[in-house]
């Protein structure tokens, strides 16, 4: 098990101290802990976007489905992320993806990611979820003068490969659009994607799934899993659930000790966020940042940030390998320093919240959706590389449709359905991560 998974990061009974937890609407639906001895057609493990979307889809199809979540609904990354509903759930470059999977498969993957963003919007509209949806658009910011040409090249690539229009923003354009910062040298603006309140969205999905007939159980951690010829015996502290099919939707929180299916195949990594008090309009103008657009910089160890609808500023970063509470305090300082360097006018603005959570990487650096056993009774959708708000939603629906054979496999890109490979020498995964971060830090400075 990678050492990033320190026990401090697994207090399922305690909500993380996030701004989302402090500001979310109540769930207003029953998610009682699982008790007794019950059976169902499909058991979903994990109550984040993937699991909730899977449960919603199955219930809508009339399938008897139960969802087991160790904490409360949205306890994991789904309730604590930056709320960027956007594309980009891979770390493999498009060039390598084309070389490995073909141009056609890469285009299908891109299409799937676009569909994922649309699905989040549809869910908000169709199920009446108030998730503070922001205006559409996302900007990549060149963090060094040397990265400006890379943005221009990316603009061309997106146009020629996917037919996607992205707008190049000069420093003057950034200024005019309220996206100014001392560390930003140009931008590339895409119209795809929008910001949301992720915990409100998770709770809205849960209500929709329950209304459709799914039974959701919070505080119901899967602690033992036995397989028989006919089904899966899933034990929680309150009882045993026997299911014909299981969907594992635990992403960065996947327990490697309970089943062998994911063992050695995933690499959890930390992502962290700070949120300020509400910033007044003059304060925002003093910094030159007034835009509600989602933004991230061109670093490999990227920073992502956006103004929230109530004027607070959310600033996140990837990095840090110590998931203990002291490790969190140390990274809080690192992230605050980066925030102050990029937004110096807000140095005195109080930071009211800081929290962290796990994202999930695969060895091939692309997500996976599919069955894990030969008899096709264990399924998963997983490894969104820190970008699963939209893709987790879409993949949860896709895995359910694959399970019930509602979706022809060829509607899901082959990029997503290749075998979930093992990491070579899996015990060294923490070292891979540390090595990658050292390399990224070096590359980001050039």
CA distance 66 to 41: 8
Among 50, 106, 123, 200, interactor with ligand FAD by CB under 6 A: 50
32-40, 97-105, 136-144, 355-363 -> range binding ligand FAD (CB under 6 A): 355-363
Among 65, 119, 216, 273, interactor with ligand FAD by CB under 6 A: 273
Q: How many residues bind ligand FAD (CB under 6 A)?
A: 44
We find the least distance from the C-beta atom of residue 152 to ligand FAD, in angstroms, to be 25
Radius of gyration of the chain (CA): 21
39-47, 338-346, 408-416, 422-430 -> range binding ligand FAD (CB under 6 A): 39-47
Binding to ligand FAD by CB under 6 A, coded x per residue (else -) over 63-82, reads -----xxxx---xxxx-xxx
Report residue 43 as tokens: 């058991």
Residue carrying structure tokens 């909730």: 52
Among 291, 293, 392, 416, interactor with ligand FAD by CB under 6 A: 392
Contact present, 184 and 141 (Cβ < 8 Å)? yes
Would you say 231 or 319 has its CB closer to ligand FAD?
319
Would you say 254 or 413 has its CB closer to ligand FAD?
254
Among 109, 253, 289, 331, interactor with ligand FAD by CB under 6 A: 253
CA distance 193 to 86: 4
152-160, 180-188, 339-347, 382-390 -> range binding ligand FAD (CB under 6 A): 382-390
We find the least distance from the C-beta atom of residue 160 to ligand FAD, in angstroms, to be 26
45 touches ligand FAD by CB under 6 A = yes
Would you say 304 or 363 has its CB closer to ligand FAD?
304
DSSP 244-278: EEEEE--GGG--TTT-STTTTTEEEEEEEEEEESP
CA distance 103 to 110: 11
380 touches ligand FAD by CB under 6 A = no
We find the least distance from the C-beta atom of residue 131 to ligand FAD, in angstroms, to be 13
2 touches ligand FAD by CB under 6 A = no
40-48, 117-125, 142-150, 418-426 -> range binding ligand FAD (CB under 6 A): 40-48
We find the least distance from the C-beta atom of residue 314 to ligand FAD, in angstroms, to be 9
Among 384, 394, 398, 412, interactor with ligand FAD by CB under 6 A: 384
Report residue 80 as tokens: 């604590």
DSSP 107-122: HHHHHHHHHHHHHHHH
CA distance 140 to 22: 29
**CB-count burial class (<10 Å; 0-12, 13-18, 19+) for 254:** buried
Among 116, 123, 386, 429, interactor with ligand FAD by CB under 6 A: 386
251 touches ligand FAD by CB under 6 A = yes
At a CB cut-off of 8 Å and minimum separation 6, what does 413 contact?
Answer: 101, 105, 106, 108, 109, 111, 112
Sign of CA dihedral 107, 301, 264, 243: negative
End-to-end CA distance of the chain: 33
Among 34, 49, 184, 194, interactor with ligand FAD by CB under 6 A: 49
Contact present, 216 and 206 (Cβ < 8 Å)? yes
At a CB cut-off of 8 Å and minimum separation 6, what does 282 contact?
Answer: none
Would you say 257 or 410 has its CB closer to ligand FAD?
257
389 touches ligand FAD by CB under 6 A = yes
Residue carrying structure tokens 């896709």: 398
423 touches ligand FAD by CB under 6 A = no
CB atoms within 10 A of CB 224: 11
153-161, 267-275, 329-337, 419-427 -> range binding ligand FAD (CB under 6 A): 267-275
**Ramachandran assignment for 253, one of left (phi > 0), alpha (psi -120 to 50 degrees), beta (any other):** alpha
169 touches ligand FAD by CB under 6 A = no
We find the least distance from the C-beta atom of residue 334 to ligand FAD, in angstroms, to be 14
CA distance 439 to 446: 11
- Coil vs helix vs strand at 194: strand
Would you say 69 or 283 has its CB closer to ligand FAD?
69
CA distance 85 to 195: 6
Binding residues vs ligand FAD (CB under 6 A): 12, 45-51, 68-71, 75-78, 80-84, 221-222, 249-253, 255, 258, 271-273, 316, 357-359, 384, 386-390, 392
């Amino acid at each position: 098990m990678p050492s990033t998974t320190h026990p401090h990061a697994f207090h399922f009974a305690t909500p993380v101290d996030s701004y989302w937890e402090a500001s979310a609407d109540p769930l207003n639906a029953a998610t009682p802990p699982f008790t007794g001895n019950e059976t169902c057609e499909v058991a979903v493990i994990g109550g984040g976007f993937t699991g909730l979307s899977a449960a919603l889809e199955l219930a809508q199809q009339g399938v008897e489905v139960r969802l087991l979540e160790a904490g409360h609904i949205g306890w994991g990354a789904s309730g604590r992320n930056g709320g960027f509903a956007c594309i980009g759930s891979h770390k493999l470059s498009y060039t390598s993806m084309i070389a490995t999977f073909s141009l056609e498969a890469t285009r299908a993957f891109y299409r799937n990611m676009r569909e994922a963003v649309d699905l989040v919007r549809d869910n908000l509209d169709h199920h009446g979820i108030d998730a503070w949806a922001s205006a559409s658009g996302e900007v990549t910011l060149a963090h060094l003068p040397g990265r400006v040409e890379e943005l221009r090249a990316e603009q061309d690539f997106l146009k020629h490969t996917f037919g996607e229009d992205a707008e190049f923003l000069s420093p003057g354009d950034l200024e005019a659009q309220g996206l100014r910062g001392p560390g930003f040298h140009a931008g590339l603006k895409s119209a795809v994607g929008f910001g949301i309140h992720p915990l409100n969205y998770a709770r809205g999905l849960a209500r929709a799934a329950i209304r459709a007939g799914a039974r959701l159980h919070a505080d119901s951690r899967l602690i033992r899993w036995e397989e028989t010829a006919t089904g899966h015996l899933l034990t929680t502290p309150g009882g045993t659930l026997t299911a014909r099919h299981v969907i594992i939707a635990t992403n960065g929180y996947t327990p490697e000790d309970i089943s062998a299916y994911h063992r050695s195949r995933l690499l959890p990594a930390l992502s962290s966020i700070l949120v300020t008090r509400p910033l007044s309009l003059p304060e925002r103008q003093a910094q030159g940042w007034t835009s509600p657009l989602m933004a991230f910089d061109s670093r490999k160890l990227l920073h992502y940030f956006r103004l929230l609808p109530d004027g607070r500023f959310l600033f996140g970063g990837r990095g840090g390998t110590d998931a203990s509470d002291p490790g969190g305090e140390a990274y809080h300082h690192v992230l605050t320093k980066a925030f102050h360097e990029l937004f110096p006018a807000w140095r005195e603005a109080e930071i009211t919240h800081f929290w962290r959570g796990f994202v999930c990487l695969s060895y091939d650096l692309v997500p996976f959706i599919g069955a894990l056993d030969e008899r096709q009774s264990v399924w998963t959708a997983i490894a969104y590389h820190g970008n699963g708000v939209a893709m987790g939603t879409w993949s949860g629906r896709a895995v359910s449709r694959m399970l019930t054979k509602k979706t022809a496999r060829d509607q899901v890109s082959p990029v997503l359905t290749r075998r979930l490979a093992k990491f070579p020498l899996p015990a060294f995964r923490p070292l891979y991560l540390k090595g990658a971060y050292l390399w990224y830090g070096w590359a980001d400075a050039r």
